[in-house]
C-alpha cells in the first residue's frame, strides 16, 4: 500500500428500515451476524487488515449498542495515533441531523482537518465481504482521479438492483456514466452479460473529497447521497475512476469465496447471507485465518452437545453454534445459533438464525425464522410452521416465508 497518509470513514448512520424489526432497537451496523459478529465488523476488519490505523465510524440513529460495540471491541493500542472511534452526529452546521451520507462527511470535516490525510477511504457498514483496500488505494493513485468507486461484476439481469457503472470507451478504468438502477444498461466489453455494480466503497484524494462535499452541500436539489449525488458529480467532471473487485486478491481466499460480496440491507439478503456460511465449503468462509474477521471476544465456555433428560441424542448438521450454547437432545439443521442459547428436549430447529440468549424449549419447532436476542420459545410452541398463526401473533412474515420474532418475545 502507498506510503501516503490514509484515513478511513465508515458510514454507519442509516436507519435500516428494510431490516425491521431487527433494527427496531439498534442501528443496522450493530445487527448481529454469523453467531458472534456484528455487521460493522466486516467493514472494520477489512480496513484494519488493509493497514489503516485511523478510522472513524459516523453514527446517528439508535447508536448506543453500536457505540458500545466499537468502544469495547475495536480498541487499538493508541501508539502512533492508531484508533477506531465512534463519532455521532454533532450538529456542527446547525440544529439538524445528517441528511445523507455525503452530508454526514460534510458535517464531519473537522476530522479531516485535524488529521490532514492524503487519501480517504469511505465504506458502508452493512456489507459482508473481504477486500484489501491497499490494492484499491494503489489503483486510485495510479489512475490520477479524484475519486475511485469499487465495483463488482453482476449479471446484467440484476442491473435494476444496483448503481451501475458505465466505463469509458477509451479507458476502462474511467467512469463515463453512473446509472441508478437502470433497466437496460450496456454490458461490459469483455463480458456482455455482466455489468459493474457499485459496492458502496470509495477512495478519494482528501482535498477533492472536501471540495466535493462542500459543493454538494450548496446544491439545493441534492439528496446529499454518496452514490446518488456526490459520485455523479465527480463523473460529470471527468474525475472518477472504477476499481474492478475481480482484481482484488485477499490472502487465504478460496476459489469459492474469493469475490464474495453481499449487501445485507433486506431481511431476505440477511437470511441468505447466513445460509452462505454453513456448508462444508462455504460460499463465504469465516475460517480464513490469513484475513480474519475480528469481533468482541466473549468470556464464554465452548458450545456443548448432550443427551436430554430422557437420554435422546440430538443432531447438529450444516450449522454454526456459538460459544456458551447447549444443545440437548435436539435437531439443529442449516442454522446459525448465537451465543448463550439453549435448545432442549427434542426441539427441531431448521433454516433458522438465532441471536444471543435464545431459549428453545422441549418439543418446540422452529423453521425458516430469524429470532432476535432474549427470545423464549416455550415447550411445544412453533415458529415458521404456520404463517397465518405467526402473523396473528404480531410477528413479521416476509413474502418469501421468513418469520422474524422481535427482541425479548416469549412465544407460547
Upper half-sphere CA count for residue 387 (Cβ side, 13 Å): 9
What is the total residue count of the chain?
A: 412
Phi, psi of 208, rounded to the nearest 5 degrees:
-70, -35
> Is 163 marked as a binding-site residue?
yes
List binding-site positions for alpha-D-glucose 1-phosphate: 163, 180-181, 198
List binding-site positions: 163, 180-181, 198
Amino acid at each position: 500500500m502507498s506510503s501516503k497518509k490514509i484515513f478511513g470513514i465508515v458510514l454507519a448512520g442509516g436507519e435500516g428500515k428494510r431490516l425491521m424489526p431487527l433494527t427496531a432497537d439498534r442501528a443496522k451496523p450493530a445487527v448481529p451476524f454469523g453467531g458472534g459478529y456484528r455487521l460493522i465488523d466486516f467493514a472494520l476488519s477489512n480496513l484494519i487488515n488493509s493497514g489503516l490505523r485511523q478510522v472513524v465510524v459516523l453514527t446517528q440513529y439508535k447508536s448506543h449498542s453500536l457505540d458500545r460495540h466499537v468502544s469495547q471491541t475495536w480498541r487499538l493500542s493508541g501508539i502512533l495515533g492508531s484508533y477506531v472511534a465512534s463519532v455521532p452526529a454533532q450538529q456542527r452546521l446547525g440544529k439538524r441531523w445528517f441528511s445523507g451520507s455525503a452530508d454526514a462527511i460534510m458535517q464531519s470535516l473537522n476530522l479531516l482537518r485535524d488529521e490532514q490525510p492524503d487519501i480517504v477511504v469511505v465504506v458502508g457498514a452493512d456489507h459482508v465481504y473481504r477486500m484489501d483496500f491497499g490494492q484499491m488505494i494503489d489503483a486510485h493513485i495510479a489512475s490520477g482521479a479524484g475519486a475511485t468507486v469499487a465495483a463488482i461484476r453482476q449479471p446484467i439481469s440484476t442491473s435494476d438492483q444496483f448503481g451501475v457503472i458505465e466505463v469509458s470507451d477509451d479507458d476502462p478504468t474511467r467512469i463515463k456514466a453512473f446509472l441508478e438502477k437502470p433497466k437496460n444498461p450496456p454490458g461490459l466489453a469483455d463480458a456482455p452479460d455482466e455489468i459493474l455494480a457499485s459496492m458502496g466503497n470509495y477512495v478519494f484524494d482528501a482535498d477533492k473529497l472536501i471540495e466535493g462535499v462542500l459543493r454538494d452541500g450548496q446544491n439545493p436539489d441534492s439528496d446529499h447521497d454518496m452514490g446518488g449525488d456526490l459520485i455523479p458529480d465527480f463523473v460529470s467532471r471527468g474525475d472518477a475512476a472504477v476499481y474492478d473487485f475481480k482484481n482484488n486478491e485477499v490472502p487465504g481466499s478460496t476459489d469459492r469465496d474469493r469475490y464474495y460480496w453481499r449487501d445485507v440491507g433486506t431481511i431476505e439478503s440477511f437470511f441468505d447471507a447466513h445460509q452462505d456460511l454453513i456448508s462444508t465449503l462455504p460460499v463465504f468462509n469465516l475460517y480464513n485465518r490469513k484475513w480474519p474477521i475480528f469481533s468482541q471476544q466473549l468470556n464464554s465456555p465452548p458450545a456443548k452437545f448432550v443427551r436430554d433428560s430422557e437420554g435422546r441424542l440430538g443432531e447438529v448438521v450444516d450449522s454454526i453454534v456459538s460459544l456458551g450454547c447447549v444443545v440437548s437432545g435436539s435437531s439443529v439443521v442449516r442454522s446459525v445459533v448465537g451465543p448463550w442459547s439453549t435448545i432442549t428436549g427434542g426441539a427441531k430447529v431448521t433454516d433458522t438464525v438465532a441471536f444471543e440468549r435464545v431459549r428453545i424449549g422441549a418439543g418446540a419447532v422452529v423453521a425458516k425464522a430469524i429470532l432476535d436476542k432474549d427470545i423464549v420459545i416455550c415447550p411445544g410452541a412453533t415458529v415458521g410452521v404456520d404463517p397465518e398463526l405467526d402473523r396473528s401473533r404480531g410477528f413479521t412474515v416476509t413474502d418469501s416465508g421468513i418469520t422474524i420474532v422481535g427482541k425479548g418475545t416469549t412465544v407460547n
